[in-house]
Amino acid sequence: MDISTIEKYDLQKMYKVYDKWPEIARESFESNHEQVDFHDIDHIVFAGMGGSGTIGDLFSSILSKSDIHVSLVKGYLLPKTVDKNTLVVTTSISGNTSETLTVVNSAKKIDCRLIAFSSGGKLEKFCKNNQIMFRKIPLIHSPRTSLVNFTYSILKILNSVLPIEKNDIIESLNELDIMKNKIFSHNLSDSNPSIDLASWISGIPVIYYPHGLQATATRFKSSLQENAKIHAIIEDVIEACHNGIVSWEKPSVVQPILLQGKDDYIKTKERFNIVKEFFIKKDIDFKEVHSVSGNILTKTISLIYMFDYTSIYKAVLSKTDPSPVLPIDYIKSRI
């Protein structure tokens, strides 16, 4: 693995954006985006698809221990529980996602609070024509690589609504800097954990995750599918012990990755240990990935950074350009 090999296959130089992720994240949080002050919110709906949907997954994890009820919409329909104390946050990084446009149109007819984020497109035009609160955030390369600038801009803009301490945000930014030095393109050695994991994946990875890291597992699956163009599976480790684990009775090209948090619930840790014992007994090769210490934003965003780079290295190792998503383009052309 060297730069010339990366650039031979990463034709749109996606890796260069990831090399700058910590810088992009910090600049986005320190930006001059106008903040929005919403009061009496007890329910937040995050609506978005694909890379934009990851933002909702991430905020759902961050807010999981707060008093705010969070709903995720990855489709066309809002939940029936939306009311005057609900904030509907719609994100379409491209600005042209049909599902998200439908949700915005539905939300404006309901007695709820509403804000939209995009880099422009149809969503910006619709919001301006209908006096809907809108914030424009730039697209950087592609929707999936724009995750950090959208996430940290939203953290800034919705600061009054989201019960997230500034110190936790700063901690996450600092951890991105630390992670960068381990995984970026200036460290293409054996010590790079993203390269190590990408080199190990030869079949279909199944990512077992604890509930608190579901957003990370979902993003890793999506990144492998979009960037490396390979199949990937995710399973909650507790639920898998009641069904999915049985599939290991037969030989398989599937490869287990055990994604674990530093502060997992004691029973979840116990379950991971039992699963590892089972894999060792069955002579099944597996990989373990552990989060860093810190708050949930820090754990999640640093893991996503590592896994996203893993998907790029996997693409390069399999002589694949990570940027094009032709099947997605085909489906969009038919809608």
Burial 307-316 (b: 16+ CB within 10 A, else e): bbbbbbbbbb
Q: Specify the number of domains making up the chain.
A: 2
Q: pLDDT digits over 45-100, tens only?
A: 999 999 899 999 999 998 988 888 999 999 999 999 999 999 999 999 999 999 99
Average pLDDT over every residue of 313-335: 94
Q: Are residues 232 and 310 in the same domain?
A: yes
Query: Token pair of 98, please?
Result: 């049909």
> 97 in a domain, yes or no?
yes
Residue that is last in its domain, among 169, 199, 226: 169
| pLDDT of the residue at 218 | 96
> 333 in a domain, yes or no?
no
Q: pLDDT digits over 263-276, tens only?
A: 999 999 999 999 99
> 199 in a domain, yes or no?
yes
> 118 in a domain, yes or no?
yes
> 324 in a domain, yes or no?
no
Residue that is last in its domain, among 114, 146, 169: 169
| pLDDT of the residue at 47 | 96
Q: Are residues 28 and 146 in the same domain?
A: yes
> 255 in a domain, yes or no?
yes
Average pLDDT over every residue of 157-172: 92
Q: Are residues 62 and 165 in the same domain?
A: yes
Q: pLDDT digits over 17-50, tens only?
A: 999 999 999 999 999 888 898 888 999 999 999 9
Q: Are residues 69 and 145 in the same domain?
A: yes
| pLDDT of the residue at 213 | 96
Cα distance between residue 6 and residue 332, in whole Å: 29
> 50 in a domain, yes or no?
yes
| pLDDT of the residue at 228 | 98
Q: Are residues 50 and 20 in the same domain?
A: yes
Cα distance between residue 154 and residue 159, in whole Å: 8
Helical pair 296-317 and 166-183, crossing angle rounded to 10 deg: 20
Q: Domain containing 79 — which CATH number?
A: 3.40.50.10490
| pLDDT of the residue at 66 | 83
Average pLDDT over every residue of 223-236: 98
108: pLDDT strictly greater than 90: yes
Q: Are residues 158 and 245 in the same domain?
A: no
> 331 in a domain, yes or no?
no
Mark out the alpha helices in 93-249 (DSSP H runs).
98-107, 121-129, 147-157, 166-183, 193-200, 214-223, 237-240
Q: In terms of C-beta distances under 8 Å and separation of at least 24 residues, what long-range contacts does 193-197 make, across chains too?
A: 193/289, 193/306, 194/306, 194/307, 194/309, 194/310, 194/312, 194/313, 195/1, 195/310, 195/313, 197/257, 197/287, 197/289, 197/310
Average pLDDT over every residue of 121-126: 96
Domain extent at residue 281: 184-317
Average pLDDT over every residue of 98-105: 96
Q: Are residues 156 and 191 in the same domain?
A: no
Percent of the chain scoring above 90 in pLDDT = 90
Q: Are residues 115 and 201 in the same domain?
A: no
E strands in the chain: 43-47, 69-73, 86-92, 113-118, 133-136, 204-209, 233-236, 254-260, 287-290
Q: Are residues 145 and 209 in the same domain?
A: no
Average pLDDT over every residue of 219-231: 98
Percent of the chain scoring above 70 in pLDDT = 100
- CA angle (16, 22, 151) in 5-degree steps: 105
Q: pLDDT digits over 292-309, tens only?
A: 999 999 999 999 999 999
Q: Model's pTM, two decimal places?
A: 0.95
Q: Are residues 232 and 295 in the same domain?
A: yes
Which of 232, 67, 262 lies closest to 163 in space, CA to CA?
67
Q: Are residues 230 and 141 in the same domain?
A: no
Report whether 199 contacts 311 (CB < 8 A).
Answer: no
Close Cβ partners of 2 (under 8 Å, ≥ 6 residues apart): 188
Cα distance between residue 328 and residue 333, in whole Å: 9
Q: Which position has the token pair 């914030």? A: 135
CB neighbour class for 269 (10 Å; exposed up to 12, middle 13-18, buried from 19) = middle
Q: Are residues 7 and 83 in the same domain?
A: yes
